[in-house]
Structure 1
Amino acid sequence: MSASLVSARHLTLLRNHGGIAALVVLLVFNAIFTPNFLQLQTLFVNISQVATIAIVAMGMTLVIATGGIDLSVGAVMALAGAMAPLIFTSAFGVEYPVLGLIAAFSLPLVAASMCGLFNGLMVSVLNVQPIIATLILFISGRGIAQVLTNGNLQTFKNPAFSYLGTGKVLGLPFQGWLALALACVLFWVVTRTIFGRYLLAIGGNEQAARLSGGPVRSVKVGAYVICAFLSGIAGLIVVAINSASDAARNGNLMELDAIAAAVVGGALLQGGRAPIFGAILGATIIQLVKYTLLANGVEDEVALVAKAVIILLAVYVQQARKE
């Protein structure tokens, strides 16, 4: 058997099962060497963190499937998270608590979706490179959030809103169930709808999709809107978990986690694939890598390097696949 054939077989195994193998290794290592890993409290904390990353990573997967990228997801999280407490603690929210709470959930998501619309129009109509188009909101979005809050930490007590981040269903964190529900919906969209069919076609060959009469622009805009909408949900979850909104920290470096999770989960940077449940797998691996390093006394800066290495390895496997 030739060396090239063996290498190709190894790459195939790594591509198809590498994520699951990495997850098993992380789980076994932590079960043996990391104190308190098997406690329920640790499980709840990790599920909460995985859910937030996974929700953003699923949106990022859709954008990557079109051959794009979205660097603004963390800033959109900060913006949505900053708006919610301002709304339900305002005079209107205090006088009409039910309407204020509804507005605190809905208006930030509308604002997040508008951010996605801005990104999508920049990319699909003005033909701005995705990394440049989304860099605009990456820079300005968090600034807008800090202006709205005057740069101050917003603390609050609102059990109904906090349930989004601290509630439990069947003993497990609510946001975990929410992430799973969103994954099922997006999986159906990708695999069963015309939108999903064109989404993958655009990433596979945008010119061919355009020549075939496909709604290329609207589908690309839709991918960015969905990504931003999901980022808004993640931003609200973070605020609900902490009962506080910190525009300087909410979603900080989430773009790195989301891209890493999407790529590790099987999304191809050149587009054409949208493995929604793979994004959840990738998010779980990213979170466990971070947890493993921190729980064993490794600095957070090293965790950032580890994420970068994970992305590099995933990209290497993708490049090797094309050769």
Structure 2
Amino acid sequence: MNSHQGEMKGDKQMNTSVLEERSKVPATLSARALSQVKNNGALWAFFLLLLINILITPNFLQIQTLYVNLTQVATVAIVAIGMTLVIASGGIDLSVGALMALAGTIAPMIFLSDFAASWPALGLVLAIVVAIAVAGLAGLFNGYLISVYKIQPIIATLILFISGRGIAQVLTNGELQTFDNPSFEFIGTGRILGVPVQAIITIVLALSIAWVIKRSIYGRFLLAVGGNEKAAELAGVPAKKIKMLTYMICGLLAGIAGLISTAINSASDANQTGQLMELDAISAAIVGGVLLTGGKAPILGAVLGAAIIQLVGYTLLANGVHDAVAMVAKAVIIIVAVYLQQVKGAK
């Protein structure tokens, strides 16, 4: 009798434990789902925006709509990649828009010169190389001020934020430079197998730099410097060189974006090219998951963040909402992204 009662008691305990384990399954699944949303918030936001547009935006699924969004997001994404690297190093760069204007001014000056008229192909190559190189050297100047003279990044880059566009305006007398150069314009308006060339350039740059961050010594050093610069230096990391190289890469990418923007418009406008680009790039980088404290460089996340920023603006404008509201929406997105970062950091 006692053994029988013991067996019944044992069975009851086993059944109770089984029920408890089963009740934990939905809770575990919910926790995992919530974790996925937190860790991949940008991706979920992007898919949500796509769904909203499919439902409410006229002609959203047309090829022309896709083409418009791809061409408009490319320059933001390229600059956002550079901004992600800079923020990952523990800094910021306010000069990217001005460097876009500077590169976009220099290139036409070269391929419209008498030399280029005699040697068109060489003149075009020289124009592209020199324009990007100048932007890269300007970025290196930023890095030098920050790493060697220990000037705060926001102050150091503010110098070229003001003077970079000023130089471009002086070079053109503040006037619009129009041109007709199909070879140069191809990088802004051309297509390969139906895909915009600028989108291809963006994808190639993003994948290449993402690989460098993940696989190269530079990538490991960059994250170490951004995570804890003093500790990195004690470990033998050349922090100054890494910072200067990072700002130079950011400048090079800004130069590429400036050429694309100029090619799209078939004109160089020192007053408007890259205007407020630094804000869009910072927004895209933050939404893409870069930590404002440094030490993390989600390159593909920056591209996704740029796509979200672009899609938010397109959604509102396509549905008759004023452009000013789009700017407010971008601000809200940044606030939410920063809040989510703080929530993760608190855990």
Could you state the TM-score of these two structures normalised by the residue count of structure 2?
A: 0.89
- Determine the structure 2 residue equivalent to 1:122: 145
- Determine the structure 1 residue equivalent to 2:41: 18
- Determine the structure 2 residue equivalent to 1:143: 166
In structure 2, give the amino acid aligned to 1:149: T
- Determine the structure 2 residue equivalent to 1:265: 288
Cα distance, 1:9 vs. partner? 7.6
Q: Equivalent residues in 2 for 1:179-218 (5 A)? A: 179-218=202-241
Looking at structure 1, the residues matched to 163 and 337 of structure 2 have their Cα atoms a distance apart, in angstroms, of: 30
Looking at structure 1, the residues matched to 38 and 242 of structure 2 have their Cα atoms a distance apart, in angstroms, of: 28
Cα distance, 1:14 vs. partner? 4.0
Looking at structure 1, the residues matched to 34 and 137 of structure 2 have their Cα atoms a distance apart, in angstroms, of: 41
Looking at structure 2, the residues matched to 12 and 82 of structure 1 have their Cα atoms a distance apart, in angstroms, of: 47
Identical-pair percentage = 62
In structure 2, give the amino acid aligned to 1:121: Y
- Determine the structure 1 residue equivalent to 2:255: 232
- Kindly indicate whether the alpha-carbon contact (under 8 Å) linking 1:11 and 1:317 is maintained by their aligned counterparts in 2: no
Aligned residue for 2:68, secondary structure, equals: helix
Q: Equivalent residues in 2 for 1:267-306 (5 A)? A: 267-306=290-329
Looking at structure 2, the residues matched to 156 and 213 of structure 1 have their Cα atoms a distance apart, in angstroms, of: 50
Looking at structure 2, the residues matched to 294 and 245 of structure 1 have their Cα atoms a distance apart, in angstroms, of: 26
Q: Unmatched 5+ residue regions in structure 2?
A: 1-23
- Kindly indicate whether the alpha-carbon contact (under 8 Å) linking 1:265 and 1:279 is maintained by their aligned counterparts in 2: yes
Looking at structure 1, the residues matched to 42 and 313 of structure 2 have their Cα atoms a distance apart, in angstroms, of: 16
In structure 1, give the amino acid aligned to 2:73: V
1:244 correspondence with 2:257? no
Q: How many residues align?
A: 320
Looking at structure 2, the residues matched to 14 and 253 of structure 1 have their Cα atoms a distance apart, in angstroms, of: 30
Aligned residue for 1:164, secondary structure, equals: helix
- Kindly indicate whether the alpha-carbon contact (under 8 Å) linking 1:11 and 1:320 is maintained by their aligned counterparts in 2: no
Cα distance, 1:315 vs. partner? 0.8
Looking at structure 2, the residues matched to 10 and 132 of structure 1 have their Cα atoms a distance apart, in angstroms, of: 42
Cα distance, 1:131 vs. partner? 0.6
- Determine the structure 2 residue equivalent to 1:48: 71
- Determine the structure 2 residue equivalent to 1:222: 245
- Determine the structure 2 residue equivalent to 1:318: 341
Cα distance, 1:95 vs. partner? 2.0
Looking at structure 2, the residues matched to 71 and 14 of structure 1 have their Cα atoms a distance apart, in angstroms, of: 31
Cα distance, 1:312 vs. partner? 1.2
In structure 2, give the amino acid aligned to 1:157: D
Larger displacement relative to structure 2 (90-99 or 65-74): 90-99
In structure 1, give the amino acid aligned to 2:173: N
Q: Equivalent residues in 2 for 1:11-90 (5 A)? A: 12-90=35-113
Looking at structure 1, the residues matched to 104 and 158 of structure 2 have their Cα atoms a distance apart, in angstroms, of: 20
- Determine the structure 1 residue equivalent to 2:186: 163
Q: Deviations over 1:265-289 (max 9, x none)?
A: 1100000100111111101000001
From the superposition, tell whether residues 68 and 14 of structure 1 become closer, same or farther in structure 2 (CA, over 3 Å): farther
Could you state the TM-score of these two structures normalised by the residue count of structure 1?
A: 0.95
> Which portions of structure 1, spanning 4 or more consecutive aligned residues, are displaced by more than 2 angstroms?
8-15
Q: Unmatched 5+ residue regions in structure 1?
A: none
Question: Could you tell me which of 107, 117, 121 is aligned with 1:98?
Answer: 121
Superposed CA RMSD in Å reads 1.8
